[in-house]
Structure formats: C-alpha cells, structure tokens
Amino acid sequence: MKEPKHLDLYLDSPDELESILYNNKHKLAVTIAEFLIWALENNVDDFIFAEVTVKDPESESEEHSLTLGCKREDYHTALEKQLKNLIEFEEFEMCPKLQEWIDYLDVEEKVKK
C-alpha cells in the first residue's frame, strides 16, 4: 500500500474547525484508517492525515495552517476508534485489517510487560 493522500481542509475562521471535522467525519475516518494501516505495514512512527488552512479573521491576505496527525503511541486507540467509525459508516472493507492490527498491538503490549 502506498502512502495515502492527506486531507486539505480550508476554514474561513478558527471557529469552524469543530464543525468541519464533524461534517467530514466519514472522510476523516476512512483517511485515518488508511494511514494507520499504511503506517503499521511500513513501520512508520507518525503521520499527518490532514492539513488545515485557516484564514486570519484580522487580515484578508494572511492564513495560518496546522496539521493533524497521529503518533505510534496513539495507534492502538486510533485503530479502535476508526474501527468503530468505519462500522458506523458501513465501510467494512478495511475493518478486518484494523482488527488484525489491534490484535497485533494487544499481543505486542503483553510481550513488553
């Protein structure tokens, strides 16, 4: 699997962030799931799944950007959340792979203890 494409999100004001994330929950769930699978298959310790560009409310020409990502220590939790989200959106294709990685990380955690 090649590296997935991150999402580009554009906001007219910082106040829109929560609503834009909520309105794009399906797309975000699929994108994060793709990145998690890719990162684990390629032993990548972190990834950026979205870049958010926000217009500066004080200036028409200025913009600020931030990135949304995930680090390896958060992969297990992220896998569980995305599995739940994908089931909710009836996106079943990646579910077995997410469960496989959840199980793998469970075993990895037990071995470390």
**What is the model's pTM?**
0.89
Residues 68-71: contacts with CB under 8 Å, at least 24 apart: 70/32, 70/35, 70/36, 70/39, 70/46, 71/45, 71/46
Written as tens digits, the pLDDT of the chain (113 aa) is 789 999 999 888 878 888 988 999 999 999 999 999 999 999 999 999 999 998 877 777 778 888 999 999 999 999 999 999 999 999 999 999 999 999 999 999 889 87
pLDDT at 73: 96
Other CB atoms within a 10 A radius of the CB of residue 29 amount to: 21
pLDDT at 91: 94
Residue 26 pLDDT: 95
